[in-house]
Structure 1
Amino acid sequence: MELNKAVLDCMQALRRRLREELNQDIRLSQPDAVEAMLLACLRSNEQATRELGIRLAELSDFHGASKPQPRNTFHRASPETPPAIAQSQQSGSVRMYRGQRVYA
């Protein structure tokens, strides 16, 4: 995920709301800060907090349907891998290293 001004502003605003509303302190330096904020937004009863969570998900390219992959693992196509996934793995992959995208 790329951190730019819009993402950081949204994260800071959401962090303040979550601290006030749910007494949950999430540090921006946490490796899973975005995921923790988005999960906390699901527990929120405030519409403004939920809207900030939606905005953060859009800005951070977070896909809730995808499962987080274990760190430091290399994925190779196996005989059971569906063709579409095998093709995407061969064309290159995007991994996260200390919160930054690494194109391999």
Structure 2
Amino acid sequence: LAGGRVNIGVGGSIARTIMPQVITQFHREYPLVKVRIVEGQLVSMVHELRQGMLDFTINTYDQHHLDQELIFERLMQRDYQVVMRKGHPMAHARSLTELQHCD
């Protein structure tokens, strides 16, 4: 990319965690390209994609809510952990099924 502008829509957590590193690296490789980041909700970003106001979005999407006008591509799979204090009644559960029996 020799120049120009790219408009990217992102969800809130992605904007704060992943995008700063991504934008820094992108600017190193493509210093003449202007990047516009739009943080927003899924519904508004899909609307802006359809209107051509955004080039693409990076967000957590349920693929079933996207129509055939849009292309869905998984970028990464994230692992989430449950964190609790050692003495908590649920601390010894080994599965989500076991958690439903904890009071």
Whether these two folds match at TM > 0.5 is no
Q: State the structure with more CA Rg.
A: 2
> What TM-score comes out, normalization by structure 1 length?
0.28
Structure with the larger helix share: 1
> What TM-score comes out, normalization by structure 2 length?
0.28
Structure with the larger strand share: 2
